Structure 1
Amino acid sequence: MGLENEINKHTIHKLEQERDMYKRNWDKALKQHDTLIDDIAVLKANISRLERKNEKQLELLTKFSGFINFKLWVSPANDTYKYFRCELDKLGGVMV
C-alpha cells in the first residue's frame, strides 16, 4: 500500500498543479476580456465623437460649396473661385 499511496499523492499533486495552471489561464483570459470590454466602450465613444465632428464638417463644407457657387455666379472668371469649385468637385458629393 505504500507504493500505491505514493502514486496517488503524486497523481493528486500533478492534478492540483494542472488545476492551478488552468485557474491562472482563466484569470488571465478574464482580465483580457475585461480590458477588451473597456476598449470597446472607449472606441464606441470615439466613433460617436468623430461622427458628430464629421457631420459638422460636412455642414460647413456644404455651406462653403454654396458660397463658392454664388461667387462663381457673380464672378465667373475668378481663378480662385474656379480652383475651389474644382477641388470641391474632386471631393464629390458636395453640391448645393
Structure 2
Amino acid sequence: MERKFVVVTGIVQGVGFRFSAQREAERLGVTGRVRNRNDGSVEVAVQGTAQRVADMLRWLRTGPESANVRSFEVTDVVPVDDETQFSITG
C-alpha cells in the first residue's frame, strides 16, 4: 500500500477536474481525496496498491479533456489504512 500527495496546476478548476478524479479513482479502486486550493490548483491524496496509484498519477497528469495541466508535483506520504473511499473535500 502506498500513498501520494499531488498538487496539479494549470486550468484545473471550473472544468470538472475533482468530479472526474473521483470517478477515475473509483474506477481504479484507490482511496483518498481531492480539493480545490485557493491558488487555483487542485490537491489530491491517493492511496492504494503501487500499480493502481501509478495509474491514477498517470491520469492526473492530464486530467479530464477540458483541463490543461501545466505542472504536477508528487510527494510520498505515509499510508492511512482507514480510508474506504475517494472523496471531494473542497
Query: TM-score, structure 1 length as denominator?
Result: 0.22
Structure whose CA Rg is larger:
1
Which structure exhibits the higher relative contact order, with contacts defined as CA atoms closer than 8 Å and separated by 6 or more residues? 2
Query: Which one has a larger percent strand, Structure 1 or Structure 2?
Result: 2
Query: Which one has a larger percent helix, Structure 1 or Structure 2?
Result: 1
